[in-house]
Amino acid sequence: MLKKVLVTGATGKIGSQLVPRLAAYNNIEVRALVRDAEKAASLEESGADLALGTFEDPQAIRAAVDGVDTLVLITLQNPNAANQASAVLAAAKEEGVHKVVRLSVFKAAIDGPADVTRLHGRTDADIQASGLTYVILRPPFFMQNLVFMAARSIASEGKLYFGTGKGKLAMIDLRDIVDCAEQSVISDEYDNQIFTLSGPESFSFQDIADRLTHIFARRIQYVAVPPEAVEQSIRAMGMGDWYAQVIRDLCKAYRENWGDVVTDSVPHITGHPARSFDVFAREIFAPALKL
């Protein structure tokens, strides 16, 4: 049976990999909600239809969800994320969408330690109360964050700066999230469940520096800085107060081993093991560093 799927946040890190993956199925028609058609040219080339608009444009949202069976709801990390998600959910419900696959966050909860955790907690509760069939995926810190966070300091100084102290976290290769989202769309086996995703093991930033030292055969040193120093440097990079505070608060939680949770959700959903840090380092990080 033909399935019509709308992906929001389609030009983002997860969406841009998920859309071509879904478009490759003969029985799936994919629509991608995008703000900029030019930026989405490769999605269109992969076979997706584009719906132009933003979360703030009710008419565009209504047109985007029209005729859709399954909504993949991805929002940008931002202080309006829960309102943006509510607007799409309300339109989806009115237009008769059957199922929502939500990209949430690790330990989403309205009383979580960081605003991003609390906003996702609100949306996850809205989804559960909506009456729609759902799959909620809650991934932790993406390994790929290391590329924009640390590639430059590693390449220039051999140093990895972060604010998680000795805390361990089970970060995930985002390719595994794409795989989980794909399966959540094509199968009904995971319906009405919430999955905490993770990589295959939990480790500290010191462990990361040690691994990279071994893999790249050059010394890489972890410099543990206070969460407030991470906050300041994010502000200085022009990434905004809200995001800086979120990362500060997540660092504080991670220092206390809040992220030290390994689950079997990735193998359970995808049928393959979660990608290890070493695989990420060789396949993604080394090319990004041009090593």
Ligand X SMILES: NC(=O)c1ccc[n+]([C@@H]2O[C@H](COP(=O)([O-])OP(=O)(O)OC[C@H]3O[C@@H](n4cnc5c(N)ncnc54)[C@H](OP(=O)(O)O)[C@@H]3O)[C@@H](O)[C@H]2O)c1
* Spatial distance between the Cα atoms of 117 and 124, rounded to a whole number of angstroms: 10
Of the candidates 18, 98, 10, the residue with the CA atom closest to the CA atom of residue 54? 10
How many residues in the shown chain lie near ligand X by CB under 6 A?
Answer: 24
Please, which residue, 58 or 287, has the CB nearer to ligand X?
A: 58
* Spatial distance between the Cα atoms of 83 and 223, rounded to a whole number of angstroms: 37
Among 48, 116, 180, 209, binds ligand X (CB under 6 A): 116
Residue 63, token pair as written in the block: 């047109």
Please, which residue, 221 or 257, has the CB nearer to ligand X?
A: 257
Of the candidates 159, 262, 279, 162, the residue with the CA atom closest to the CA atom of residue 220? 159
Of the candidates 126, 123, 140, the residue with the CA atom closest to the CA atom of residue 250? 140
Query: Contact between 54 and ligand X (CB under 6 A)?
Result: yes
Phi, psi dihedral angles at 178 (to 5 degrees): -60, -45
Query: Contact between 105 and ligand X (CB under 6 A)?
Result: yes
Query: Contact between 55 and ligand X (CB under 6 A)?
Result: yes
Of the candidates 53, 58, 233, the residue with the CA atom closest to the CA atom of residue 153? 233
Please, which residue, 29 or 173, has the CB nearer to ligand X?
A: 173
Query: Contact between 253 and ligand X (CB under 6 A)?
Result: no
Q: Where are the beta strands (DSSP E) in the chain?
A: 3-7, 28-34, 49-52, 70-73, 99-103, 133-138, 159-162, 193-196, 221-224
Residue whose CB is nearest to ligand X in the complex, by number? 12
Query: Contact between 10 and ligand X (CB under 6 A)?
Result: yes
The minimum distance between CB 39 and ligand X, in angstroms, equals 6
Which range in 11-19, 202-210, 215-223, 236-244 contacts ligand X by CB under 6 A? 11-19
Query: Contact between 62 and ligand X (CB under 6 A)?
Result: no
Query: Contact between 254 and ligand X (CB under 6 A)?
Result: no
The minimum distance between CB 195 and ligand X, in angstroms, equals 13
Classify residue 33 by burial, with Cβ atoms within 10 Å: 0-12, 13-18, 19+. Answer: buried
Site for ligand X in 131-190 (CB under 6 A): 139, 141-142, 145
Of the candidates 3, 172, 17, the residue with the CA atom closest to the CA atom of residue 71? 3
Among 6, 23, 82, 103, binds ligand X (CB under 6 A): 103
Which range in 42-50, 70-78, 151-159, 270-278 contacts ligand X by CB under 6 A? 70-78
Among 44, 63, 77, 282, binds ligand X (CB under 6 A): 77
The minimum distance between CB 35 and ligand X, in angstroms, equals 4
The minimum distance between CB 1 and ligand X, in angstroms, equals 28
Please, which residue, 91 or 116, has the CB nearer to ligand X?
A: 116
The CB-side HSE value for 284 (13 A sphere, CA atoms) comes to: 17
> Quick one: CA torsion of 263, 267, 268, 271, rounded to 10 degrees?
180
Q: Which residues bind ligand X (CB under 6 A)?
A: 9-15, 35-36, 39, 54-56, 74-77, 103, 105, 116, 139, 141-142, 145
